[in-house]
Amino acid sequence: MDSAVILFAHGARDPQWRQPFEAMRLSVAERLAGVRVELAFLELMEPTLEDAMARLAGEGVTRVTLVPLFLAPGGHLRHDLPALLKALSARYPRVSVRVAPALGEAEGLRAAIAEWVCAQHFRS
């Protein structure tokens, strides 16, 4: 397997915070049979993005799609992530990384969230 997906989340001190992200990872992995799907965190949790990239590069992965699980492209996506990727690119030059947009930039996801919000409003 030469390609992988990394779902990249912020991280938190509370270990339970990880659960929805792990469920999302499993859901994506079911849909992408034959593609490795990893979860990585910016801070406070493991594996870090560095850990995930080291493992994937060590297994011969050459293409990574990094999906930030952030609603909007704030400072972490505009500043921290590019700095991390620059260092990782120097360390693993054979691995190309494509970064997907922030979740809130996807029209379909915005529509799904709007539907969910409306459903919550009308819940009895």
For 75, 91, 110, the CA distances from 63, given in Å and listed in that order, are 25, 15, 28
Q: Which two tokens stand for residue 95?
A: 């691995």
Beta partners for residue 104, in sequence order: none
CA distance 12 to 3: 28
10, 76, 79, 121: which one is catalytic? 10
Phi, psi of 75 (to 5 degrees): -60, -40
Q: Is 79 a catalytic residue?
A: no
- The residues that are catalytic are 10
